[in-house]
Structure 1
Amino acid sequence: MLVAVPCAGADCVVLLDGDDGTERGRIAVGDHPVHLAAVGSAVFVATMGERAVSVVDDGRVGKIGTGILGPSHFALADGLVLVPCTGGDAVAILDPDSRSLAGRVGVGAEPHDAAVRDGLAYVGSRVDGTVSVVDPDAARVKQTIDVGADARVQGVDAGFGAVYAVDQTGGRVVRADETDVTARADVGANPYEATLGPERVYVAGRDDGTVTSLAPDLSDPETHGVGGRPTAVSIVDGAPWVLDRERARMVALDADASLSLPAPAFAADPVGDGDGVTVSHYDDDRVSLVSTADREVRWTVETPAQPFEPLVL
């Protein structure tokens, strides 16, 4: 097992051995890498400071030009890779086989995140408060969904037969199909993304120390006061664990349990279906592998500056 970590402040991806954290390589990928996606034998790297996506394959680095600045996240749809580009108000459509740009589609201003459901891509706008429903094969917008006045759409996720978009400004999450919003719910202050568990939807309120748990139809809300600055929720071995940007710990949302960490947590990626999870400590330039079952840190290593979201390969 390898753990790949984009280090936004060092313009590289570092490769760590999953057994003990030993560094296995450091690959220069371009300006401000933040998110990774495994596509076939390659790892695609969103480099927000460039007009291109980096592709790492067998240690070699290639580039696919997007023509627009700010690749941020990835979504995969029917053999295509979709990349919202925040600086160009468009989503780039990439062909991973030919490693080329297949097209661009204009969407709402400052698109940040995307999710795919039934072959359609849902792209959120941080300025317009909309979600654009994109047909990647036809390279066109089928529908524009209005999330609400003054909305700022950050995270977009698909599951439970629907799409969930988080309005950061309004402190709410909406559920949508390909034509319109079907449900809304208030959540904590300054939410960023939704996490879909086996049976519930979880949204962390970064500014009020809460996590809201909801049924898939956004009914039955439960507010958990966890304190600190909950950055995100990670589903580990089927259970929700809360990452904290201020305090060096993870908290189990559905049980009276916590896990001490070497430093506050920023992002995480579970190791398969087990109890292991890799955690990045963005503000402390470290990455850890922890066991939620044993409540222990298996290893912690120093990394280049600002390790972002890890990817277990």
Structure 2
Amino acid sequence: MTDPVVSGHISIVPRPRASRRTRFSHHLRNEWQLYVMLAPTIIWLLVFLYTPMYGLQIAFKDYSIFRGVSGSPWIGFEHFETLFNNDQFLRALRNTVYISFYSLLFGFPMPILLAVMFNEVISQKFKKAAQTIVYLPHFISSVIIAGIVITAFSPSAGIVNTVLGWFGMDAVYFLTKPEWFRPIFVGTTIWQEAGFQSIVYLAAIAGISPTLYESAVVDGASRWQMIWKITLPSILPTIIIMLIIRIGNMLEVSFEMIFLLYQPATYETADVVNTFIYRQGVQGGQYDLAAAAGLFNAVVAFVLVMTANTISKRYSRTSLW
């Protein structure tokens, strides 16, 4: 027992520190409403995200739907060896890296530019109208977006070939040309998502203190100088966090849009890891091989986000954790 501390005629005995479990129980009794509200989300995560992880072991098994996951024999890394000796998988992996790199190079700066442009617009009516127009594609189904793209690049009635015809050029069916698939896909995803993604940067810009701009005006700074010296440096932590998240999702190329736009004629440049997994697992019934490809995809994404977070934390002191 701790000796009492005597101060004058009053003996002060330190209260024993409550254990972590006791503190949590006390907090749970006082804030049980918050935990009830959180419960549906936790249940959803457990049922739909963590429970399926049990099936990842089929990537290391000779899986049979008749024997089940537990009854299928272990074969180690045989499926991964098969993948890296499969020309189709290597082609899909290469295409995934190329498309992700182009999307990062051209697509990542676009929401930042849009946010800065919207912030500089003086007319509120024009600003609201412009924001509505650029946000709208995000809320349109990918099926409809793909239909618009297919129609626009149609060799017979597409607006692109119509314009080319005005200059005496022959019609081109762009979506059957492997060399045109990546530019069309990257441009389509930028058009669909850039406006909605700019909301994050607009929110960051809204948090900048107006006194910084007022001081810059007093010092005679131009609008370009305020953008380069105040706006962009102030939202740099947000840009870095979004970049880390984007790098972690580099191998997660939009399956829906690829699936709707690609065809066997463009597999050379359009086939990605996700579509390879779909053909092998759903269409080909090779669930174990598809699981191995999916697990490889997840591991690479984890390594990328960890690496990007570590580099960012070391050099900019901004990170996800």
TM-score band, normalised by shorter chain: under 0.3
TM (norm. structure 1) is 0.19
Higher relative contact order (CA 8 A, sep 6+): 2
Larger radius of gyration: 2
